[in-house]
Amino acid sequence: MRGTKDIIQEAAGLPVEERVILVDSILRTLNHPNPEIDKEWTTVARRRLDELRSRRIRPIPGDQVFAKIKERFKK
């Protein structure tokens, strides 16, 4: 039987798309999907995408978000 380190090393060599599928599959064994919650998140995501596309809201670059977070928790 292969050990955890061997499995991790093999997984690290997979293409990014396959690693995402692998991680998602493993996480689903820990947190079983809830269709109602998934439906709510889909609704929120679609609304936010619509707000971005219609320019009702403006995106904030990730580097600015992380800088604010670092500053906030530095204190």
Q: Is the pLDDT of residue 39 over 80?
A: yes
Structure confidence at residue 6 (pLDDT): 94
Q: Is the pLDDT of residue 54 over 90?
A: yes
Structure confidence at residue 28 (pLDDT): 87
The residue-averaged pLDDT of 69-74 equals 92
Band (pLDDT 50/70/90 cuts) for residue 75 is: low
Domain count, the chain: 1
Structure confidence at residue 4 (pLDDT): 94
Domain range for residue 41?
4-74
pTM comes to: 0.51
Encode 1-54 in three state secondary structure: CCCHHHHHHHHHCCCHHHHHHHHHHHHHHHCCCCHHHHHHHHHHHHHHHHHHHC
